[in-house]
Structure 1
Amino acid sequence: MSDELERTGSMGDNLVDIKGLSVSFVTDAGPIKAIDGVDFTIPRKTVVGVVGESGSGKSVTARSIIKLLPETATTGGAIYIRTAQDGAEGFDVLTMSGKDLQQVRGGAAAMVLQEPNSVLNPVYTIGRQIEEGLRAHGLTDKKQLRAKSIEILEKVGIPDAATRIDYYPHQFSGGQKQRIVIAMALVLNPGLILADEPTTALDVTVQAEILDLLRLARDEFGASVLIITHNMGVVADLADQVVVMYRGHVVEHGSVEQIFYNPQADYTKRLLAAVPRIGQQLMVRDAAGHVIERSVDWREEPVVVKAEHMDITYPGQMQPDFKAVDDVSFEIHKSEVLGLVGESGSGKSTTGRAIAGLQRISAGSLNVLGMEMRDFKERKFKPLREQIGFVFQDPGSSFDPLMTILENVAEPLIVHGRYKTVSQAKQYVGELLEMVQLPRAYMNRFPHELSGGQRQRASLARALALKPSLLIADEPTSALDVSVQAKVLELFKTLQAEIGFACLFITHDLAVVDMLADRIMVMHKGRIVEHGDASQIMQHPSDPYTRKLLASLPVPDPREQAAHREELRKLLAEEA
């Protein structure tokens, strides 16, 4: 690196010193300050967790460390980063030239992003993509390039790495793709790994594997890890130190024990209180402080969904048929919340789509609101569609971006003939938005003008617009901050008690389903492996897969999580 770069002039155990960092972005409406006077350090061979809600400045702070910011960004303060060798002098990243930054990115610090598909090029093999980073830092020998790539893939746990190095990204699962992205970050042995929400979209069992991998980066590779997350269980599992951010400021910084057991800032206390925990009952109250409860016992209510030995098979073209749901039987009563949990690919969403009439069943029986769904005729089922609401995981993609919230929420009302025009439906849509605790003024906004939590509330309003008898909620809170998630869950429970709809609540978050569900079904590879009352499943699981799921779920308590991790290792050892 060039001698002109500003040096800190000091040594120490810190790999990174962030001093007075400020970042502003130029917009049409004027400059927006995303970061304001942030100070903290990243010690060597340490995992630092950065937590806070969306918009708190977590990702901007991480990207600033390798100056991976858009041209509209203006920075102030200093970020001193040192090489991994002891005694190395630091350089202020914010004053570096583009040429010097190339050596820092990948060599001194590497980034692992939330979505591996945004990093991996679908037209190149993963071997070529790993080698690309090595070439950029001077390695040109083909045999060495391939050998190093295979070696790093083996270290991150990709089976049969010597063969699969020539595979393309689409030939790997989501968890394996995230491992490959981590391999790309580790291959140059950087001193610092910046992991931005690396486990958000992953199942709990895969998440546990990725966290073990980041722990390996610290313990075996000697790297420091800065992990950005909104999952306090992940922080409790992995972090040595915690930085709590709120609206561009650091409100608290300390050891993981201090933050969890003796938080000082009110915001930290609120953040920890909002985290769902297994065994924690969700109680909602009205304005007068009275507990809101269902007026009926769901066990005595009629059955609205009944599946008997149901199969759902996807026909293969070049490959054999794939049975996504295999010999599944269950029922859902009016006013009941049935939780459906399992990993990606277990058949959860396929089951939900079949109930909504969006997926045909192949064998067995599925009766929804009195109609048999095997070989059903759309014209006969159409009148029942207005009795079924659907809340999607990502409301941003389910809303038409060119339509206002008013138009989006009013659409099912017009399709089913409740109103003829949007203007006629406006008064009712306003009442719906108020029911889900959104101001009426929001109906004139477009989906992109709402936050994630606000969009999910609007999605819930649309699903309830026709006053359905049955609601299917497919991962409705998985992408939300914990505080927003807590408010959406409270709202959901309140509306379910007041309206009395039957609900299939699909999720991979066991703590969330424990707060809401009356009964829980656990699915694995298309089959139901366990089914019973929520308390029974959570406290005394009988199936090994359910026990593995529960042990994989990180709990927001460092000491309890250490015991959880040990239990998971024993279960995995028994499997092996």
Structure 2
Amino acid sequence: MLRIDNLKVELDSEAGLVKAIDGLDLAIRRGETFALVGESGCGKSMTALALMRLLPDNGTVAQGRVLLDDEDRHGQTDVLSLPEARMRSVRGGRIGMIFQEPSTSLNPVMKVGQQIVEAIEAHTALRGEAARAKAIEWLRRVGIPEPERRIDEYPFRMSGGQKQRVMIAMTLATEPDFVVADEPTTALDVTIQKQILDLLRDLQREQGMGLLLITHDLAVVSGMAHRVALMYAGQIIEVAEAAEFFAHPRHPYARALLKALPDAQRRNQPLAAIAGTVPPLTTHFTGCRFAPRCERRMPHCDSTLPELVDTSADGQSPHPVRCLLYVDDGRAAAAPAESAPPPLPARAATVAFADQAVGAPLLQVSDLKVRFPIRKGALQRVAGYFNAVDGVSFQVGAGRTLALVGESGCGKTTTGKAIVQLLRTQARIEGRALLDGSNLFELNGDALRAARQQIQIIFQDPFASLNPRMRVYDVLEEGLISLRTEMDAGARKQRIEALTDQVGLRREALQRYPHEFSGGQRQRIAIARALAVQPRLIVCDEPTSALDVSVQAQVLNLLKQLQRELGISYLFITHNIGVVEYIADEVAVMQRGRIVEQGTSAQVLSAPREAYTQTLLAAVPRLIGAPSA
């Protein structure tokens, strides 16, 4: 259905010519799910933008072809050579794209229904009420509650997960032949994620739809993909059938990624994070691009450029790998390669946690209620209130981690924002949130400023929470200037540089703007900003959802290290149960604004009592092999 031949994409930047994609070859069959995985900044999203001809102004396709089956002409069409007028019918009509960040992809001044109807009318024969009815149907199919009402809301009225579902509905409503899905389930909870993935499978069966799945969630890949390509620094370094990739990864980078996955079995030990970062793509490479980070590095790895070599045995599906370990006909060096760690079963009967004794509570939340006004009429008078959080109570011990889990829209993020005092002018807040005995809801002026130095937040959407007009250095320094007035400019600089190293960013990144980074890199900046003022409690709102596996391991190791050394507490809002198993001491499960189950991690994850909790855990994807092609 789609073939990419020797694609090379270059970006003109202040640091020099960036070779974002360097000689990429792919072939995707009709009805196939092809997964493209790799670290943030390796070129996955740039590949998607090149396919759609949506490269930034400083980006050009230096070489290559993107061939799409053209049934009308009984041949193939080079997408890169089409005039823009014809490309508009292909983009959205024949090739749909689910973007990584719905907040930047949805028009903030248009109702979500208008945006979906616009796509339907542009690429199908439906118009008016028929197009609106189809938009409502797709909102229902992707799990938006009350779609007849929510279709007339603006994007800012929806949670991150709900906005992502709107993006998916907009893409699939035109029923394209081929879909490029760039992190389509990153912001979704496990139940909605399962629903969306099941929907994509159904569409593939019904329409023969091809799917290029770009993701860092290896569990999703193992359950969805037929084939997997692993990218690193602009190149593909391993391609295999999905089941073969997870059972017998060949490249040292692939094996390291699988060992970095968090779960209960690794709870009391650091995750196997990969040292270093992806090299800058302005580099003139003379050897293997992964060599500086590779545990199996050999002397000639720095001076010899590896080619893709097929490592499969006779009669097996091709398994090309770009590694000098396999230069001797692709098989001689395969024996010493380690196999992947065995995946966890779909549901473990017991989970072994070494829970420590609960310390004194740092934060005590009692009967928290958050009510948003519902405004109607031309004058927007308050006609009632919506109870987003309805009587929530919990506590976070000093040096402990409480995970707050539940479906998108259940009130998790609202709870976190209310505690950090970010909803005072938007909602009516009742109840108490005691930080060291002081009620946060009653603080003002200097007292509130002092409390904010003690409690910080990592936001769910890093792009929306970073000032686009400020360089990264200024973003990190802003909090220090405001809340750590005792630090001079030199001390602030040392602190910022140390933070940059801790979260896995290069120091040259400090002089760049947020839009110059990938989604995962922006999340690292947001984490560094929260850590900058050395708080005692951090509200972590999906802090690792935008991060690839290796960086997630680095961040989780960092959070646990800081907790051990400084006694920091975390209110960890997430839908990633693997992360919960690894980092959380206690778990609280939210549904429709209320906590329905609460206890230690071992109690809630091993023997859940509520049916809702059981449903959540049953929907968690695991490394369980791949579907047959």
Interval of TM-score (by shorter of Structure 1 and Structure 2): 0.7 to 0.9
Q: Which amino acid in the other structure matches residue 91 of structure 2?
A: R
Note closer, same or farther for the CA distance 1:245–1:463 as it changes in structure 2 (3 Å cut). closer
Note closer, same or farther for the CA distance 1:65–1:540 as it changes in structure 2 (3 Å cut). same
Shift, 1:149, TM fit: 6.5
Q: Give yes or no for the alignment of 1:44 onto 2:30.
A: yes
Q: Give yes or no for the alignment of 1:314 onto 2:372.
A: yes
Deviations 1:510-557 (A, max 9, x none): 211221111111111221111111122112111112122222222233
Aligned equivalent of 1:343:
407
Q: Give yes or no for the alignment of 1:493 onto 2:480.
A: no
Q: Which amino acid in the other structure matches residue 4 of structure 2?
A: I
> 1:116-135 counterparts in 2 under 5 A?
116=102, 118-121=104-107, 132=118
Aligned equivalent of 1:222:
208
Q: Which amino acid in the other structure matches residue 89 of structure 1?
A: G
Shift, 1:352, TM fit: 2.6
Aligned equivalent of 1:532:
599
Deviations 1:284-325 (A, max 9, x none): 399xxxxxxxxx996363222223333333344434222232
Q: Distance in 2 between matches of 1:140 and 1:244?
A: 40
Shift, 1:156, TM fit: 6.2
> 1:48-197 counterparts in 2 under 5 A?
48-70=34-56, 72-83=59-70, 88-116=74-102, 118-121=104-107, 132=118, 136=122, 139=125, 167=152, 170=155, 178=164, 181-186=167-172, 189-197=175-183
8 Å CA contact 1:298–1:336 kept in 2: the answer is no
Deviations 1:14-63 (A, max 9, x none): x1222222222334554322212211211111111111122222223233
Q: Give yes or no for the alignment of 1:263 onto 2:330.
A: no
SS in 2 for 1:213: helix
Aligned equivalent of 2:584:
517
Aligned equivalent of 1:327:
391
Aligned equivalent of 1:206:
192
Note closer, same or farther for the CA distance 1:29–1:212 as it changes in structure 2 (3 Å cut). same
Note closer, same or farther for the CA distance 1:84–1:530 as it changes in structure 2 (3 Å cut). farther
Note closer, same or farther for the CA distance 1:379–1:221 as it changes in structure 2 (3 Å cut). same
8 Å CA contact 1:199–1:207 kept in 2: the answer is yes
Aligned equivalent of 2:306:
none
Aligned equivalent of 1:277:
263
8 Å CA contact 2:162–2:408 kept in 1: the answer is no
* Greater mean alpha carbon deviation, residues 186-195 or residues 222-231: 186-195
8 Å CA contact 1:84–1:190 kept in 2: the answer is no
Q: Distance in 1 between matches of 2:14 and 2:492?
A: 34
CA-atom RMSD in angstroms: 3.9
Q: Which amino acid in the other structure matches residue 241 of structure 1?
A: R
Note closer, same or farther for the CA distance 1:498–1:307 as it changes in structure 2 (3 Å cut). same
8 Å CA contact 2:503–2:524 kept in 1: the answer is yes
Shift, 1:67, TM fit: 3.5
Aligned equivalent of 2:327:
none
TM-score by length of 1: 0.79
> 1:285-324 counterparts in 2 under 5 A?
299=357, 301-317=359-375, 318-324=382-388
Note closer, same or farther for the CA distance 1:496–1:455 as it changes in structure 2 (3 Å cut). farther
* Greater mean alpha carbon deviation, residues 519-528 or residues 201-210: 201-210
8 Å CA contact 1:337–1:519 kept in 2: the answer is yes
Q: Distance in 1 between matches of 2:232 and 2:266?
A: 26
Q: Which amino acid in the other structure matches residue 265 of structure 1?
A: H
* Greater mean alpha carbon deviation, residues 91-100 or residues 545-554: 91-100
8 Å CA contact 2:142–2:195 kept in 1: the answer is no
8 Å CA contact 2:587–2:604 kept in 1: the answer is yes
Q: Which amino acid in the other structure matches residue 420 of structure 2?
A: A
Q: Distance in 2 between matches of 1:500 and 1:166?
A: 45
Aligned equivalent of 1:573:
none
* Greater mean alpha carbon deviation, residues 211-220 or residues 93-102: 93-102
Q: Distance in 1 between matches of 2:522 and 2:570?
A: 20
Note closer, same or farther for the CA distance 1:115–1:216 as it changes in structure 2 (3 Å cut). farther
Aligned equivalent of 1:5:
none
Shift, 1:490, TM fit: 0.5
Q: Give yes or no for the alignment of 1:250 onto 2:236.
A: yes
Q: Give yes or no for the alignment of 1:235 onto 2:225.
A: no
Shift, 1:399, TM fit: 5.0
SS in 2 for 1:532: strand
Q: Distance in 2 between matches of 1:118 and 1:51?
A: 22
Instruction: Give structure 2 stretches of 5+ with no counterpart.
Output: 273-353, 376-381
Q: Which amino acid in the other structure matches residue 612 of structure 2?
A: Y
Q: Distance in 2 between matches of 1:106 and 1:469?
A: 47
Q: Distance in 2 between matches of 1:278 and 1:363?
A: 36
Note closer, same or farther for the CA distance 1:328–1:237 as it changes in structure 2 (3 Å cut). same
8 Å CA contact 2:43–2:234 kept in 1: the answer is yes
SS in 2 for 1:558: coil
Shift, 1:258, TM fit: 1.0
SS in 1 for 2:246: helix
SS in 2 for 1:208: helix
TM-score by length of 2: 0.73
Q: Distance in 1 between matches of 2:271 and 2:161?
A: 40
8 Å CA contact 2:527–2:543 kept in 1: the answer is no
8 Å CA contact 1:471–1:504 kept in 2: the answer is yes
Q: Distance in 2 between matches of 1:61 and 1:535?
A: 42
8 Å CA contact 1:298–1:333 kept in 2: the answer is no
Q: Distance in 2 between matches of 1:395 and 1:130?
A: 25
Shift, 1:433, TM fit: 5.4
Percentage of identical aligned residues: 41
Q: Which amino acid in the other structure matches residue 368 of structure 2?
A: M
Instruction: Give structure 1 stretches of 5+ with no counterpart.
Output: 1-14, 287-295, 563-576
Shift, 1:485, TM fit: 1.0
Note closer, same or farther for the CA distance 1:153–1:512 as it changes in structure 2 (3 Å cut). closer
Shift, 1:416, TM fit: 4.4
